[in-house]
Amino acid sequence: MADVQSNPQSVEQVKYEPLYSIDGQSLKHAFFAALIWLRNHQQVVNSLNVFPVPDGDTGTNMFLTMQSAYSEISESSETSAGKIAHMISQGALMGARGNSGVILSQLLRGFARLLDDKPVLDADLLVEALGESRNTAYKGVVRPVEGTILTVAKDMAKAAEETRAESNDIIYILDKTLKAGEESLKNTPNLLPILKQAGVVDSGGKGLVVIVEGIYRYATHQTVEIGEVAAERAPVSLESLQMSQMHEEIEPGQDFEIVVDFKPVGELNLQSFYGDLEKIGTSIQVGEGDDLYRMHIHVPTEKKYDPIELVEKYGAVQKVYIENLMEQMKGKSGEEDFSNPVEEGQIAVVAISPGDGISRIFKSLGVSRIVSGGQTMNPSTNDIFQAYKDMPTDKVIILPNNKNIIMAAEASKKLSDKQVEIIPTKNIPQGLSACLRLNPQGDMKEIVAEMNESLDEVEAGEITTATRSIELNGVNVKEGEVIALLNGNLVSSSKSIVKACAELLKKSGIKDREHVTIFYGSDTTQAQIDEVTGYIAKTYPDHEVEVHEGGQPHYQFILSIE
């Protein structure tokens, strides 16, 4: 190691002892601090979603990926930094969710690869590992886009390399790396126009900065408790905390899910409220509506009434929802079976589905296995892998049916020796269109080619509720309005579902199409269904219209236009 003096004076307002090496247990504790710091910023990262739709889940995906990674080392007494890093990498790969989670797992894989089996991490290894993280993540993305988490990782690695010439103190290098990440994050809107248009920085980049900041705070003996970020942790919209949408994983000791709607007395002190909730349970979320708040928490049995008593100190309770999570888990064994038998040598299809109604349709089209997931509930790499790992055939096709699940599907291939092909379906209509080309006894190469060709034969529409006000793609959106997306692009915002559907159909070029299939969501009313179908039948009398229960959350309607 070069004989270079550390320079702690450059670290603003933080006093610390220089750090020259990190062993396995120290790396474990630093990673845990990063996990907690990310959990506390989870909703902040989620809120940076470009589109005003109720599925901004980058923070959740990154947190669950980190949580899976930490589960591999939580009970480990290993002292080798290299071995701990490899365990973290493996856990992240298995638990990677969404594009942000997969890229995070690639960053961790590159870091671990460089450490190999080294007993300690020093300044030289840290700088080299950050460089290898950057390289691995860039290689893992087919078409890297600047202004994303990749750019932030690149700028951090560059800063670490430049700083190494000044000091061999790990904390000093981390400080400069973190500052470079923060500056890079601020610059992401200048590199990616859609971010500037939406008025946000990149959410994945923000998550990465938070992770590094958590490690830095651990190294400098600063707290990562909730009070430190209460000012940032604003409540999400009430619409994004519907009881049917609670989907966080159940951790050990979480026996009951409690949801309380309440009207606060005076102004709600969020910092104090979050601090009190942290003492009771986990999986905490707070949603805000018009003069109403919704509190969600997971608690052990002995504390199942504590959240209600706590809320009464802050306001008047309007509604209480309590569910036994353990019984809920037991009940999963009685869920409807959407699988189809598959024989050796046949082509098996695995499809991701956001609702039971859509799952039934996939089953009717010959899909072998269904993985539950979609908006705000992206399945992990391991969830997808488990769906096909024990199949008797080695020919598997995966339909992600969501642009944020494609990378996790691709990552699952690394876990299998089977011949696995990913059809890059970005929505349910594309997935169903691809299934129409399935012939289990056909030639794998030909079937894959036909499925890929089918993706351009259908237009996909989605109707949902705006979670915030914004002007994007020339569309002026107000929070609470009904918005329409065509093939993932925002095309309209209005005060009624019918108007949103009308604009969507108009822009889809429906006059050149013949068939419209409508999938209604879990919270869609019969009146809304009748209103929309009636409008289509009257306006486009020559078109065939099918209506099916979709069962998907968040989106009142998914439309397939062919």
Tell me the HSE value of 139 on the side-chain side, using a 13 A CA sphere: 10
Two structure tokens written together for 163 = 């700083």
Output the DSSP codes for 96-153: -BHHHHHHHHHHHHHHHHHHTT-SSEEHHHHHHHHHHHHHHHHHTSSS--SSSHHHHH
pTM score, two decimals?
0.78
What does DSSP say about strands 459-465 and 557-561: parallel, antiparallel, or unpaired? Answer: antiparallel
> Quick one: pLDDT at residue 142?
81
> Quick one: pLDDT at residue 474?
87
Pick from 58, 70, 68, 61: which is nearest to 34 by CA? 70
Two structure tokens written together for 369 = 């296995």
> Quick one: pLDDT at residue 131?
96
Two structure tokens written together for 95 = 């638990």
Nearest-angstrom CA–CA distance, 539 and 542: 9
> Quick one: pLDDT at residue 456?
93
Domains in the chain, start-ordered, CATH in brackets? Answer: 8-229 (1.25.40.340), 236-330 (3.30.70.260), 335-457 (3.40.50.510), 459-561 (3.30.1180)
| Chain-centroid distance, C-alpha 105 | 13
Helices (H), 419-496: 428-435, 444-454
What does DSSP say about strands 347-353 and 395-399: parallel, antiparallel, or unpaired? Answer: parallel
Nearest-angstrom CA–CA distance, 328 and 438: 35
> Quick one: pLDDT at residue 251?
52
SS3 433: helix
Q: Could you count the other beta carbons within 10 Å of the beta carbon of residue 545? A: 14
Q: At which residue do the structure tokens 């860039």 appear? A: 138
> Quick one: pLDDT at residue 253?
56
Two structure tokens written together for 404 = 């944020």
> Quick one: pLDDT at residue 327?
56
Task: Return contacts of 480-488, CB within 8 angstroms, 24+ apart.
Answer: 480/239, 482/556, 483/52, 483/53, 485/51, 485/53, 485/461, 486/459, 486/460, 486/461, 487/426, 487/427, 487/459, 487/460, 488/403, 488/426, 488/427, 488/460
From first CA to last CA, the distance across the chain in angstroms is 64
Output the DSSP codes for 479-523: TTSEEEEETTEEEEEESSHHHHHHHHHHHTTGGG--EEEEEE-TT
**pLDDT beneath 70: ranges in the chain:** 1-15, 54-56, 225-255, 289-290, 324-335, 376
